[in-house]
Chain A
């Protein structure tokens, strides 16, 4: 369980995140959605102290993250980057093995875990374990990034627009893999995206942020049926329009002939 209590971050005069409080239940995937500058990535990075908060607290399973060194907490949280961030001087297998090694697992357990995770993200270990990241496609690299984040059996997974830089077809495939994996593992996590469709597709609950504050939080259905803020309506506009276009095309209309909202 992840609890944010009055979590704040300011840079001098600018407030990026303003007294944000919310809770992610065990086994729940919460999406942070918002435009750029909404504070969603800053919030995510404060959860594993990549960014140190200027106020408030983060509790994981009741444990205050301010206690102890940040690196010790991070080993128990998976993190997936938009930029993927695989180490180019390490093989795919070595990248995945990093956190288990840092946790001091014995060699055999690490090797078994690496193969297990590569298989989980649908990369054949025998083929990909010894490859260099540079030899992989973007989608394959992000699968490795996901495997690396999950390798240390983390309590919590944090994902920062993990599929944002991929082409639509690859993104769709990865989203579906991810959905399967998270259900199978019962992951507790926070997922940052600016793509409302992605959130509606994958989220248990969605938190919409605007200028560092919580605009609305709720299940996808609640947001769609009762948007509580202008920014929520705005974020929902694109998925709505896409849905309308799709239904019109299916019934024989022309895609471009949509009336203004």
Chain B
């Protein structure tokens, strides 16, 4: 727990930065827009409609879609102004959160202004106010309670939604939740949720104080609320600038990690190894979505991370397995990455983490299922659970087509919950990773891919090609890790985190001491 709390200042600060800046941007866009459309019925319908549509996009998707969008925009702005936009991390999160905060503030501005009594509008005209004075002295003050209610709604939404900016590479309280869910550390999840809820309550309370102060003309309340808000903004601004300056000044490496245990361990291991050999410090950019990690590497937002040959083969190259050997797949993937994306492979770590279908051993025995061919015969009576991306990956489509699976039902779920569901008998078969420590721990049976549909998944370290020239020492240090981790070892390391609740950093450090 204390380990979790040690992370709180950093995560909370980052979360505060995201929330406050997104809200400010959203406020500055939505209130003037709301005012502008409020006497223009056609524009009002259009703008509110658009904001409503945006609101129906799931927030996680909205965040994720900002990454390729900003990458595109970045290429354009680089060509036009020579300035590159960061496509992962703070910027996509801010843009998405701002957009997400628009609707409540926009709608309440329009509603608030529309709700001002017509007789007061006429009175404002009759005493000789110009349209602008009418807006500033009558319409906005009278609409203020409704507008502030919108700000409060947006505040609570944005604080909550900001936890989802972790997968696009922005640090937030979501780091607790994502890494906690993946490493089955529910203390971590709890800390993240409680901190986010507390932050939401505090910010909401401040806006409420401001609202009451303004409505009741309590100067002290207004002053207190404004002072606290200003202090928070100042704090967010200073820490943001300091952080930016610090990053630019320190020539640190950035190591990416996707959202599962093995990735956390390996990124820690890479960091330790690099520091041991070269003294270069690195920063973890963890819990990146699967394709976000690759995009981030291409965009130069991170310097290296671990991926799997089969993932690149299937997802990026769009290939299906035709029984190529591990070596052959590695060779083709390596060539593809260099030629298409300017990315180098710094070696395979020595183990495969393959997609596989797994069942409880006793259940598999009872049904007489050993291989995927056997499974196809009984699939009509079984339920299949898969991680979030499994059913949309080409491997699954190839499996389904080749073996002719027709499961009674399939469910997408969080990987860590999937194993519980299997143990409880809620699903019969799950998509598993072959290095998952829980396979041995839960006595699961991996089913043979007898038709060789699933490609090999060698864990490989990918790096920006420029890194080789910039830091030859780093590349050399990473290459030392080649072929040093076998499948059994990786399973044990994963299990130490997943079952024994050790931190990925501790597990990586112990492996380094004992085995390297």
Contact = CB atoms under 8 A, between A and B. Distances in A.
Interface of A: 48, 50, 69-76, 79, 81, 83, 85-89, 98-99, 102-103, 148, 152
A210 to B, nearest CB: 25
A75 B127 contact: yes
B322 interface: no
18 contacts: A48-B126, A50-B125, A50-B126, A69-B130, A70-B125, A71-B125, A73-B128, A74-B125, A74-B126, A75-B128, A79-B126, A79-B127, A81-B123, A83-B119, A87-B120, A88-B120, A89-B141, A89-B142
Contacts of B130: 69, 71
A81 B126 contact: yes
Contacts of A85: 119-120, 122-123, 126
A102 B123 contact: no
A102 B126 contact: no
Nearest to B130: A71
A148 B127 contact: yes
Contacts of B128: 71-76, 99, 102-103, 152
A79 B119 CA distance: 13
Contacts of B125: 50, 70-71, 74
Contacts of A74: 125-128
Interface in B103-121: 119-120
B447 interface: no
A165 to B, nearest CB: 12
B138 interface: yes
Nearest to A91: B217
B465 interface: no
A27 B142 CA distance: 37
Given A72-B128, A75-B127, A102-B129, 17 more contacts: A48-B126, A50-B122, A50-B125, A73-B128, A75-B128, A79-B126, A79-B127, A81-B119, A81-B122, A85-B120, A85-B123, A89-B141, A98-B127, A99-B127, A102-B133, A103-B128, A152-B128
Nearest to A72: B128
B263 to A, nearest CB: 56
A102 B125 CA distance: 12
Contacts of A83: 119
Nearest to A103: B128
Interface string B126-148: 11111001000010011000000
Contact of B123 (A48, A76, A87, A103): A87
Contacts of A48: 126
Contact of A71 (B123, B129, B141, B142): B129
B119 A88 contact: no
Contacts of A102: 127-129, 133
A135 to B, nearest CB: 13
Nearest to B125: A50
Contacts of A86: 123
Question: 10 nearest interchain CB pairs?
Answer: A85-B123, A75-B128, A79-B126, A74-B128, A83-B119, A89-B141, A98-B127, A71-B128, A71-B130, A99-B127
A81 B142 CA distance: 19
A75 B124 CA distance: 11
A48 B141 CA distance: 25
A209 B124 CA distance: 28
A86 B124 CA distance: 9
A234 B133 CA distance: 45
B441 to A, nearest CB: 66
B477 to A, nearest CB: 67
A208 to B, nearest CB: 25
Contacts of B129: 71, 98, 102
Contacts of B133: 102
Contacts of B138: 87
B116 to A, nearest CB: 10
Nearest to A154: B128
Contacts of A69: 130
A98 B120 CA distance: 13
Contacts of A103: 128
A145 to B, nearest CB: 9
A75 B130 CA distance: 10
Nearest to A145: B123
A99 to B, nearest CB: 5
Contacts of A89: 141-142
Contacts of B124: 87
A99 B133 CA distance: 12
B391 to A, nearest CB: 56
A258 to B, nearest CB: 39
Contacts of B123: 79, 81, 85-87
A76 to B, nearest CB: 8
B111 to A, nearest CB: 17
A86 B128 CA distance: 14
Contacts of A98: 127, 129
A81 B125 CA distance: 12
A88 B126 contact: no
A222 to B, nearest CB: 32
Nearest to B121: A85
B137 to A, nearest CB: 8
Contacts of B119: 81, 83, 85
Nearest to B119: A83
Contacts of A79: 123, 126-127
